[in-house]
Structures are given as structure tokens and as C-alpha cells.
Structure 1
């Protein structure tokens, strides 16, 4: 029974994904037959920098962080990808080793598309190639913005901008026009996201909570005054 459900889920996920939903039914069936499902527990390592780049992943359930580490063990979070998102596409296209680590932030199910089976679809479908290029362009823009923030902005501005980016991806409407982040990140993880210490994140969270910019509940952040957060993000920009 489980095998039947998994086979059905694979094609259903492919058919609903923005990158692949325009494929013909026969193409979807062929691609689904070559794809595999993979499960990772919370904090499970999906791949590490330098691993072979032989596949691309679509998130069916869960969330994944893409990160890099310095030689002394410091972590920089490059991106957090939600359900329905893709990652691993750079190595899939060029076949080179992975450029960063991918870690499951929570229990995560992935649909893994192997390079050997997926590349023929790109060759035969220019529209699919263009959609994948748009994903890569978005990633490049995000990386450029992240680098500029790190080089030119104060810690408070960097953190404000990071929260606003998280709002775009994980924000859920809350009472009184607030926006609740539907993702629970530790202060250490938030610090890694913007390249500042956990102590600095703690200080800013407490300061913004006292001033009514945000609210905190069981580790979840609610943005109560988006305009104020946007103003902080543009300070010294």
C-alpha cells in the first residue's frame, strides 16, 4: 500500500510544481518513474559542500537551509527554502561539486531528480530551461543582496531586512494587521542568517519587542509594525 501511495505522490508533486507543471502527462510519468523520494530528520545533512552534484531536489514537506562554514566552524546561512521550493539546481546543471551544505530544519521529504534523467528534459524543453534560469537568477539576486547587506549595513539593518525577507516567504496573517512567521528559528540560527552574534540578535529582539515592532510567542516572531521594520532596514543603506 505504501508503495502505491509513494508512486502516486511523485507524479502529483511533479504535476503541481511551478517548474514542471507544463510537462505533458507522458513526460511527467517518465520523469516520475526516474525520481525518488528521500526523507531526512530534523538537522539531517542532505548534502555537504564538495559532494557530487548529481541531482536537484524539490521539497514536498519541511524546510531546508542552505549554508556555508568557515574553517573555524562559523556558519553563514545563505537561504532557507520552504515547501515547494527547489535547491541543488546549480550542481545539477554543471555537474560540478556542491557549492554549499543543505540541512533539514525539520522533518523533511524530498523528491530527488537525478541529473542523468533530468538533463534530457531540459534539452528537449526550452521553456523548462527558461524557468530554471529564472530560478538561478533569483538565487543570484538574493546572494548579491545578502553580500551587500553584510558589507554595508549595521547589524540592526541587516537583521530587519532579513526578517522582512522571511515575511515574504513564511509570513501568515495575524490579528491587528500583524504578520506571523510560520517558521521557528533559534537566535543562533537567526544570527547565522545575517552574520551577527546570538547576543546581538537577543538584544535586538528584546529592543524591538519593547517598542512594539515585533512580538514573540514560544519562539515564533510576529511582525507588528512592518513600516517600522522597513525603516530600520533602510537606515544607513
Structure 2
């Protein structure tokens, strides 16, 4: 494999500097991690790691997105979270040396930097600020996951779908998800999602465009979520 050039290392260092976990490490330590790592390229739908795999490396997302997901006993996939550019992925298993607790899958074309566990542990031992930041980030992710699970249990289909549309819309109100992906994220069939979207289209809350679903009246969807949570 051809050795990465200076531009590749600079991109890795920039990603590390933007990471909530590793942004406190020194420039020298970031350079060390970059030089001890190696690039990984994935296409959409490809597994980065599977539940039960050894936690032998941590990954920095340079471009794209990695989804963390689990599978129920019945075989249904559950999306736990998704991490994009500048995020650190897979640190839990790396820290305790145990197996991966969930699948990690590229949701689109994704480039990462693989850093061996030994390299990360060496840096953390010499960079106490990075250790503190790591604890804070893991706590934040745990709270976010708990909040998401609580919302899932409290909301019906309408509430979960409204919450998803509001979270995923861009500045123009467009949601870059297919109805199949929406269905997977809210844990129901595509047909049920389609019926609920049709109801909201009839109400004038959303519309279907060539680019996907667009939110027209965000306040109405926010009201759906609040009503379900308060009820």
C-alpha cells in the first residue's frame, strides 16, 4: 500500500482536532496517531465492524457517516446513533479491550482513519486532558442514547416519524432519506410510513418532491411530538 502523503496526514490531524474526544491532545500526539494509523474506504451499506468483533482499533470519520446499529432477537435492525465527519467511532471496545457491542455500518461513501488500540492507549496515558474529554463525550453519548430510547418507548408511529423528519430536515425542509430508511429508523413497515406521510400531505404539513419529502409546516409536526410525549 502506498504511504499517505502530507495532505492525508493534515486531514487526519484536522479531524482529530475537531473531535469532541480527541481535540485536547497535543499536535505532536495527533501527528503520532496519524502516522500510526491507516486509511479505510467504505461504500454505502458496508460493515466497518460487527457486533462481537475484537475492539482492536478506533476510527476517525474523515468524510461520510457511520451508523451504529443493533439487531433484535426477532431480526429487526435498530439504529442507535450515527456519527459523521470528525467523529471518533468504536472507542468503547478499544478502551476496555472487549468485543464490539454493536454493528458499525457506512450509510454512504465513507472515508476513515484506522488507529490501532495500542497507539490510542499510548497517547491517552500521556495526555490527561484527552482522557477527561473522552469521559465527557462518552457521558454525552450515553445521555443522548437514553433520551432516544425513552422517546421511542413514549411515542407512537406518528410521534416517531414527526421527530425523525424534524431532526433530518435541511435548511429547505428536505429530508434526504428514502421511505424505506425512514421505516427502518422508526421501527415499522414502509407501508405504514407511506400511509402516515399521505395523511400529512393531505393536511398540507409535508409534500413529496423529486428530491424527497419536504416539511412544510414544522410547527404541526412539533405539536404531534409534544402531544404524544405529554399524553
TM-score w.r.t. the length of structure 1 is 0.85
Match of 1:122 in 2: 124
Question: Residue 159 of structure 1 aligns with which residue?
Answer: 161
Structure 2, unmatched stretches of 5+, are none
Taking the aligned partners of 2:118 and 2:207, their CA distance within structure 1 comes to: 48
Cα gap change, 1:202 to 1:2, in 2 (>3 Å):
farther
Structure 1: stretches of 5+ with no match in the other structure: none
Secondary structure of the corresponding residue to residue 227 of structure 2: coil
Q: Distance in 1 between matches of 2:153 and 2:18?
A: 39
Candidates 186, 194, 206, aligned match of 2:178? 186
Q: CA RMSD in A?
A: 2.2
Checking the alignment, whether the CA contact within 8 Å between 1:14 and 1:20 is kept in structure 2 is yes
Q: C-alpha distance in 1, partners of 2:130/2:214?
A: 37
- In 1, the alpha carbon distance for the partners of 2:108 and 2:132 equals 31
1:231 counterpart = 2:223 = yes
1:169-210 Cα shifts (integer Å, max 9, x gaps): xx3x22xxxx334xx322222122122221121112222233
Deviation at 1:160, TM superposition (A): 1.6
1:62-141 correspondence runs (5 A):
62-141=64-143
Aligned: 1:3 with 2:4: yes
- Quickly say closer, same or farther: Cα 1:185–1:30, change in 2 above 3 A: same
- Could you say which residue in structure 2 is the equivalent of 1:196? 188
Distance in 1 separating the partners of 2:11 and 2:34: 9
Residues matched between the structures, number: 227
Question: 1:222 deviation in Å?
Answer: 2.9
Superposed displacement of residue 156, structure 1: 0.7
